[in-house]
Amino acid sequence: MKTSFPNYPPLLLFFFITLLMFPSSVISQKENISKKQLRLGVIGLVHDHVSWILNRGKEDVSIVGIVETNKTAIAKYQKRYKLHDSLFFETYEALYSKVNPDAVSAFNETKEHLEVVRFFAPKGIPIMVEKPMATSYNEALEMARLSEKYEVPLLINYETSWYESTYEAKKIMTQNMVGNLTKMVFNTGHPGPVEIGCSPEFLSWLTDPVLNGGGALTDFGCYGANIATWMLEGETPLHVSCIAKQSKPKLYPKVDDDTTIVLEYEKIQVIIQASWNWSHNRKDMQIYGSQGYINCINGNEMELMTREKEGVKTHQPAPISDYQKDPFRLLYEIVHENRIMEPNGLYSVENNLIVSKILTLATLAAEKKQSIPWGAL
């Protein structure tokens, strides 16, 4: 049987046909969006955290080029991940001119983060660097100015920014479930980069005071400074004190390996114990209030005491979004979905400028063996 349209006027007939076609066109657009990739340039292979992107295995991010000149690192990762020669470039300029990435992620020496921003920010390429932001406050300031001048997103990636317990702890604190905040303690580090088997390429700069800005002080002191700054909504300390020790000078002759930073705020105290001399790997924090405390044991295990008479209870943190659990997904959504970073958020420039100043003042405090006022810089 032949089907025909009623004898509608041509304009009305066109309207009906358009309505019939519209849902499929919307589906098609959604499919195209979901298939969009972040074309990522990787800067450096000498940071062992680069395995995070190489092992990621999700199709929303595609590595389009790698800048590296260290032949040992190139050979190692080429063999491990079957990376084609065409992916490798010796300079930022070669990567940019040949593949023009949507964004870059830096896994090179912390000292080189400023050069990455100097090159890619003027070209409008969003940038993510591994923590800490820079080796000094002055370097961080220049990175921030370049990001602002060229209106280019700049993210600083910390493993603890992916933790469900990090977000849950702030929610509990802001709901006043443990009373008024009195103290925060951060315990971060491991038995040592040599002891846990960091690669020679990583060790060569991680244990260098110029290329890394310090030892355990910068490597692990940044975590507590980052989270405390976020928890306190960008409040800055009044004074910074620090004891930086060398407990293993034969292994780490140039840098500190066991460091304690104390931040004095108007109403609370923050203690950051950053060490390459722990008996085990740890990234935990304790937040104390006037009537209880929060113990973040790791990324997804917590304990909570709201009142002493009720005792300590296991607490399950709430799930977090994909972009909170995965820094590369966050970068994807910033580039392709116009996601706006949280003001003073864990990844933000504003937060990490404060972190950089804390670390620089802590270094100065350890050298002078005295508490340094915030206004000293």
Q: 136-176 pLDDT, tens per residue?
A: 999 999 999 999 999 999 999 999 999 999 999 999 999 99
Whether residues 121 and 179 fall in one domain: no
Kindly give the pairing relationship between strand 282-289 and strand 293-296: antiparallel
Residue 287 lies in a domain: yes
Whether residues 360 and 232 fall in one domain: yes
Output the pLDDT for position 220. Answer: 98
Q: Residue 9: pLDDT band by 50, 70, 90 thresholds?
A: low
Residue 121 lies in a domain: yes
Residue 4 lies in a domain: no
3-state secondary structure of 237: coil
d(CA 252, CA 94): 36
User: Which residue, 327, 134, 358, 195, is CA-closest to 262?
Assistant: 358
Whether residues 115 and 154 fall in one domain: yes
Whether residues 127 and 208 fall in one domain: no
pLDDT at 20 over 80: no
Which two three-digit tokens encode residue 317?
A: 């943190």
Q: Average of pLDDT values for 324-348?
A: 96
AA identity, residue 24: S
Whether residues 308 and 359 fall in one domain: yes
d(CA 200, CA 193): 10
Q: Which residue has the higher pLDDT, 4 or 274?
A: 274
pLDDT in tens, 240-292: 999 999 999 999 999 999 999 999 999 999 999 999 999 999 999 999 999 99
Residues whose CB is less than 8 angstroms from the CB of residue 140 and which lie 6 or more positions away in sequence, other chains included: 133, 134, 352, 353, 356, 357
Q: Residue 25: pLDDT band by 50, 70, 90 thresholds?
A: very low
Whether residues 82 and 52 fall in one domain: yes
CATH number at residue 137: 3.40.50.720
Residue 118 lies in a domain: yes
d(CA 216, CA 245): 10
| Half-sphere exposure in the Cβ direction for 75 (13 Å, CA) | 4
pTM value? 0.90
Q: Residue 324: pLDDT band by 50, 70, 90 thresholds?
A: very high
Q: What is the DSSP letter of 181?
A: E
d(CA 273, CA 277): 10
Whether residues 69 and 172 fall in one domain: no
Output the pLDDT for position 107. Answer: 98
Residue 8 lies in a domain: no
R_g of the chain, CA atoms, integer Å: 24
Q: Average of pLDDT values for 311-332?
A: 97
Residue 13 lies in a domain: no
Output the pLDDT for position 103. Answer: 98
Whether residues 241 and 362 fall in one domain: yes
Whether residues 154 and 292 fall in one domain: no
Which of 102, 128, 159 lies at the terminal end of a domain, its last residue?
159
Which of 135, 159, 183 lies at the terminal end of a domain, its last residue?
159
Output the pLDDT for position 7. Answer: 52
pLDDT at 27 over 50: no
pLDDT at 78 over 70: yes
Q: Residue 15: pLDDT band by 50, 70, 90 thresholds?
A: very low
Residue 352 lies in a domain: yes
Which two three-digit tokens encode residue 162?
A: 């992916």
Whether residues 230 and 203 fall in one domain: yes
* Of 19-23, 27-31, 33-37, 245-249, the least confident: 27-31
Q: Residue 17: pLDDT band by 50, 70, 90 thresholds?
A: very low
- Residue whose tokens read 């966050």: 330
Whether residues 189 and 139 fall in one domain: no
User: Count of CB atoms within 10 A of residue 57's CB?
Assistant: 7
CATH number at residue 175: 3.30.360.10
pLDDT in tens, 171-191: 999 999 999 999 999 999 999
Output the pLDDT for position 60. Answer: 97
d(CA 83, CA 100): 19
User: Count of CB atoms within 10 A of residue 99's CB?
Assistant: 17
For residues 60 and 329, the answer to whether their CB atoms sit within 8 Å is yes
Domain count for the chain: 2
Q: 219 is in which domain, residue-wise? A: 160-320+347-376
pLDDT over 70, % of the chain = 91
Whether residues 84 and 135 fall in one domain: yes
Q: What is the average pLDDT value for the chain, to the nearest integer?
A: 93
For residues 107 and 43, the answer to whether their CB atoms sit within 8 Å is yes
CA distances from 369 to 240, 256, 362 (A): 11, 14, 10
Residue 124 lies in a domain: yes
Which H helix or E strand runs over 303? strand 302-305
Exposure letters 255-271 (e unless 16+ CB within 10 A, then b): bbbbbbbbbebeebebb
Strands laid side by side in the 88-89 sheet? 88-89, 61-67, 38-43, 103-106, 127-130, 154-157
Which of 159, 178, 197 lies at the terminal end of a domain, its last residue?
159
Output the pLDDT for position 236. Answer: 98
